[in-house]
Amino acid sequence: MTKKSVILAVLAHPDDESFGMGGTLALYASRGVDVYLVCATRGEAGTLDEEYLRGFDSVADLREAELRCAVEKLGLKDVFFLGYRDSGMPGTPENEHPNAQIQHSVDEVAGKVVKYIRELKPDVVLTFDPIGGYRHPDHIHIHKATVLAFEKADDASFHPEAGSPFKPGKLYFHTISRGLFKVAVRLLPLFGKDPTKWGRNNDINLLELAEVDFPTHARIDIRPVAKVKENAGACHASQGGMQMRKGLMGFVSSMWGKRENFMQAYPPVNGSTKVANDLFAGMS
C-alpha cells in the first residue's frame, strides 16, 4: 500500500491557521494529503466582544470551538493542542502567567512537538518565520521549538519518551510579503490609520515589519480554495474573521491573498533562486 503524503503545521493560536497559511492547508487537503495541525495554546489572551462568549464558559472554550469549525472547513484530518496558555503580546500581564507558552523552555515545547512528528510522520512540516509573522512572542517561541523538534526528530536521545526517531523531508516557514506591508504602510494613513499601531489592540508595527524580508522558495497558488479559506476565517468571528471580507482588509485580501509564500529551511537551499509551486517539489 502506498503511504499517503502528510503535512504537519505547528502554530500558536486558534486563527493562525486560517488567517495565515489556510489556503495552502486547504489546497493540499483537497488533493488527498493528510494535513494535521498542532496548536500550542487555546488563544486565552485574544481580545473579543462579550457577545461572542454567550454559551461558552471561557475565551479558551470559544476560541477552541472556532478553531474546530475552521479545521472542518479546511478539510484537516485533526488538530492537537499542546496545553499552554496564550502569552499575549509583548509587555502584557499575560506574559507572566505561569502556564504562558513563553514561560516554558523551548526544549520542553520541542519535546511535545516532536511527539507529533514521530507519531504522524509528516513529509513536510510548516511553521512561522523567525519573527513569527508580526513578532508575537508565542509565534517566535513555537517557531524555535518546531525548528529544534525537526532537527532532533531522528535523534533517539532527544526526548526518547516521545517516540521512535523519524526524519521529515522538508521544513518550511510561512512568510508574509514585505511588499504587502510596504503598501499597507502607504495606504493606511489615507484611511486615517497609523501603520505603527495596527490591529485590534494597536500593538502591531507594520512600519517595522516592512523592513524585514525573507526569501521565497515556494509560492502556492490558493485561488482554487480561496472560498474555503474565507469560510474558515469566518469561523473566527470573535477575532474579526467576518470583517476580513470587507473594507480595506477585503481589498488587501483580493489583491495579495491569491498566493501564500514559504521559505524552505530544510533541506538547505544553496543559492537557487527558483521558486517552486509545490511544497513537495523534489521529493520522491
pLDDT one-digit tens code per residue, 68-119: 999 999 999 999 999 999 999 888 999 999 999 999 999 999 999 999 999 9
φ, ψ of residue 124 to 5 degrees: the values are: -130, 135
Check residue 249 and give its pLDDT: 54
Sign of CA dihedral 261, 243, 231, 61: positive
Check residue 243 and give its pLDDT: 58
Mean predicted confidence (pLDDT) in 155-174: 98
Q: Does residue 16 register a pLDDT over 50?
A: yes
Q: Does residue 248 register a pLDDT over 80?
A: no
More confident residue, 164 or 247: 164
Check residue 1 and give its pLDDT: 46
Query: Does the predicted model carry a pTM greater than 0.85?
Result: yes
Mean predicted confidence (pLDDT) in 215-235: 95
- Average pLDDT of the chain, as a whole number: 90
Task: Residues 6-266: name the CATH superfamily.
Answer: LmbE-like (3.40.50.10320)
Mean predicted confidence (pLDDT) in 192-211: 76
Q: Does residue 192 register a pLDDT over 90?
A: no
Nearest Cα neighbor of 30 from 38, 39, 22 is: 22
Q: Does residue 60 register a pLDDT over 50?
A: yes
Grid look-up 517566535 returns 140
Nearest Cα neighbor of 133 from 167, 169, 200, 181 is: 181
